[in-house]
Amino acid sequence: MIGVIDLRLAYPDPFDMSIGLILLATQHRRQGLGTWTLRILEAWLARDTPTEAVIVAVPAQDHAAQTFFHANGYTFTGQSTRVIAGSSRPRLLQMRKSLVD
């Protein structure tokens, strides 16, 4: 196994899909596999599901994740949330990509 994708269909709205995590093993990063995987996922969603948009929440301090999703067509929605993670409360910034024209 080289990686994992966590996703939730019909969330947060019936025609949305939410990505919780895309994780690649360290030795497989920076080879285009994340982009390739995201494109396959988006093509499948557009073709075989009623999904109209993909939503992802990235940590505010994770500029690499923000850059990755931005380079793949995701834009900031202006919404953010704080989550409890151990003793900290990191802020997550929501990004979105429409799958319909």
Residue 29's pLDDT band (boundaries 50, 70, 90)?
confident
The H-or-E segment that residue 88 falls in is none
**47-77 pLDDT per residue, tens:** 999 999 999 999 999 999 999 999 999 999 9
CATH class of 3-98: alpha beta
Predicted TM-score of the model (pTM) = 0.90
β-pair type (16-24, 53-59): parallel
Q: What confidence score (pLDDT) does residue 39 get?
A: 95
Where are the domains positioned within the chain?
A: 3-98
Instruction: Write phi, then psi, for 24 (nearest 5 degrees).
Output: -115, 145
